[in-house]
Structure formats: C-alpha cells, structure tokens
Structure 1
Amino acid sequence: MHEQEPSLPVYEVEELSLEQAILELASEEEKYATQYQAATSLFLQLCA
C-alpha cells in the first residue's frame, strides 16, 4: 500500500500535462478552422 503513495503526485503531473496537451490541440484545431473559413469565404468570393 505504501508503494502507491509516491505515484499519486505523478498522476497529478500527468493530468496537468495532458490538460496542456488538450489545450494545445484545441488551439491547433482553431487555427485550421480559421484557415478553412478564410479559404471558404475566398472561394465563395471567386465563384460569385
């Protein structure tokens, strides 16, 4: 039972880094979504 106690802080650190990774992925997806929106509006302008 005592061996599991030191692993608890490790899980906390992993959760923080996982949260950070999720935030970075979200910002990457936002960049792609913004680029896609810009390309779509440009395409519609060219077609009009």
Structure 2
Amino acid sequence: MDGRLRYDQLRAHEECLLAIPDALAWCWAKGGRWRNSIRRMVSESRQV
C-alpha cells in the first residue's frame, strides 16, 4: 500500500453492515411496535 487514501463505492450486497442503520431507521419511522422493539438500541434522535 502506498499510503494514499482509497475510496471504493460498493454495492449494497457487498457491504452488509449498511443494512443495520437502514433497518433501524425504517423501524423508527414506522413507529408503534416497530419503534418499541428497537428503542433500547437508539441513544439519540434528531428531527430535521
């Protein structure tokens, strides 16, 4: 490696960990029992 910063744009299936925040955001936006099921994992929420 030559010490330069490298940026690779991967497809969704190539970076599976990106699905986690997407799933949490979906549950939060859906509300009701979905929001309650993830509430312990959310430490802060900001409305913009």
Which protein has the bigger helix share? Answer: 1
Between 1 and 2, higher relative CO (CA 8 Å, sep ≥ 6) is seen in 2
Flag whether TM exceeds 0.5 (same fold).
no
Greater C-alpha radius of gyration: 1
The TM-score, its normalising length taken from structure 2, stands at: 0.32
